[in-house]
Amino acid sequence: MCTTCGCGSGEVKIEGDDLHEHEHVHADGTRHAHSHDHSHEHGHAHSHDHTHSHDHDHGHGMRYAPAHSHSPGVSPRRMVQIEQDILAKNNAYAAQNRAFFTGRRVLALNLLSSPGSGKTTLLCKTIEQLQARRPVTVIEGDQQTSHDADRIRATGAKAIQINTGKGCHLDAHMVGHALETLDPPERSILMIENVGNLVCPAAFDLGEAHKVVVLSVTEGEDKPLKYPDMFRAASLMLLNKCDLLPHLDFDVALAIEHARRVNPAIEVLQVSAKSGSGLDAWLAWLDARVKG
Amino acid sequence: MHEMSLTEGILQLIEDAAREQAFSKVSAVWLEIGQLAGVEVEALRFCFDAVTRGSMAEGARLEIISVSGIGWCMDCSESVHLKEVYGECPRCGHHRVQVTGGNEMRVKELEVT
């Protein structure tokens, strides 16, 4: 692992490239390239440091190893206070992303749902209508394939595909790297379509302004109760595929009641990507949140 | 949920602390896990053993301090105990309760050598 930027050597790929081949852009706009060579150097330097610090410890008796102990009677064990959130690293990257979005006045949204809720279709329709007013860029998260990014690009919007490999969610670090290539323009809207999963993405802040959860009416009304973390984290629930309601037993009022039980403050809009119903309200919701 | 990612986060915090505070072996780790954090403790223990293998925390004892869920009931205007994220207020039975505590996931302290 590269300890300078925290790049894992895992299976995450952005547009088919390994994460650590990309250059970095820091919040202040400085860039530095990360090639394979670089990351090797990082690893090397790191292990040397380790050896040095071991020598250092021995020389000064800082470690309470029996053979070197200068303080008889002192326990070789000591306590170290950490007091840090387990997600601190992710949250630090998210803060960087958020600063970047604020600087460019980009409205970034994190779109979440189960697989098959119609997120990508909804996104395509949204982009088609939104593009005349302001630029839209998209980060697509999926375990494998670039099918979704290809669908988005067909609308004319700039899209970047992140493949998480075995990962079940996007994290702020992956998004930070994707932003380097995506380069969203000032006052644009960035849609981050997370991996289809109602569990894990709830905990990982990407630096977005809002999480938007998409629930389709072909799912159960009790999804908000089954996956409360996701609905609690979201500012808005889009109830999608509403054109199908006449053919289903889905109880809209009950679904909304369940969502509000988990998150009393959640807003709800009923939409249909297919018929276009409700999209005006969704576009107005977006417009109201773009700054400037 | 995502216990593997969380455990990797724990190991990163440990390794960062090791660089700053010059220790090379961790013998025990104390975590504070809120009851509303959505963390499956048994899964976390399993992942911890797997992720720390070969690291400075291999074989370390994992101590988990459970933190109770607290919410603000909008109807009672009072802090109440919560057993679930969408749980009902134990006073009025309504569900208009916002979680205010018990969703933390923190590395509290380490025993090191």
How many CB pairs lie under 8 A apart between chains A and B?
110
- List, for residues A4-62, the tens digit of each pLDDT value: 344 554 678 888 887 654 444 455 545 544 444 333 334 343 434 443 434 343 334 33
Question: Above 70 in pLDDT, residue A71?
Answer: no
- Residue B88, pLDDT score: 86
Band (A292; pLDDT cuts 50, 70, 90): low
- Residue A59, pLDDT score: 36
State how far residue A49 is from chain B, nearest Cα, in angstroms: 9
| Contact between chains at A79 and B22 (C-beta distance less than 8 A) | no
Question: Above 50 in pLDDT, residue A217?
Answer: yes
Give the number of C-alpha atoms closer than 13 A to the C-alpha of residue B44, restricted to the C-beta side: 24
Question: Above 90 in pLDDT, residue A72?
Answer: no
DSSP string, A3-64: TTT----SS-EETTEEGGGSPEE-TTS-EE---HHHHHHHHHHHHHHHHHHHHHHHHHT-S-
What mean pLDDT value characterizes chain A?
82
- Residue A14, pLDDT score: 85
- Residue A28, pLDDT score: 53
* E strand segments, A197-241: 210-216, 236-240
- List, for residues A113-171, the tens digit of each pLDDT value: 999 999 999 999 999 999 888 999 999 998 888 999 999 999 999 999 999 887 788 99
- List, for residues A90-101, the tens digit of each pLDDT value: 999 999 999 999
B19 contacts in chain A (CB < 8 Å): 49, 53
State in Å, rounded, how far the first CA of chain A is from the last one: 40
Chain B within 8 Å of A63 (Cβ-Cβ)? yes
| Contact between chains at B86 and A262 (C-beta distance less than 8 A) | yes
Question: Above 70 in pLDDT, residue A174?
Answer: yes
CB B39 within 8 A of CB B70: no
State how far residue B13 is from chain A, nearest Cα, in angstroms: 7
State how far residue A274 is from chain B, nearest Cα, in angstroms: 32
Instruction: Report B:4-43 residues touching A (Cβ under 8 A).
Output: 5-6, 9-10, 12-14, 17, 19, 21-24, 27, 31, 38
pTM: 0.76
- Catalogue the long-range contacts made by A180-184 (C-beta closer than 8 Å, 24 or more residues apart): A180/A22, A180/A23, A180/A24, A180/A25, A180/A31, A181/A14, A181/A15, A181/A22, A182/A137, A182/A139, A182/A158, A184/A104, A184/A106, A184/A135, A184/A137, A184/A158
Mean pLDDT (whole number) for A74-85: 84
- List, for residues B68-97, the tens digit of each pLDDT value: 999 999 999 999 998 887 778 999 998 888
- Residue A165, pLDDT score: 81
A224 contacts in chain B (CB < 8 Å): 86
* Measured distance CA(A239)–CA(A242) in Å, rounded: 7
| Contact between chains at B22 and A168 (C-beta distance less than 8 A) | no
Chain A within 8 Å of B77 (Cβ-Cβ)? no
Question: Above 60 in pLDDT, residue A209?
Answer: yes
Residues with pLDDT less than 70, chain B: 1
Question: Lowest-pLDDT range, A72-81, A256-265, B2-11?
Answer: A72-81
Question: Lowest-pLDDT range, A59-68, A104-113, A224-233?
Answer: A59-68
Give the number of C-alpha atoms closer than 13 A to the C-alpha of residue B107, restricted to the C-beta side: 30
Strand, helix or coil for residue B32:
strand
- Residue A200, pLDDT score: 83
Question: Lowest-pLDDT range, A165-174, A189-198, A270-279, B101-110?
Answer: A165-174
**Count of Cβ atoms closer than 10 Å to residue A59 Cβ:** 9
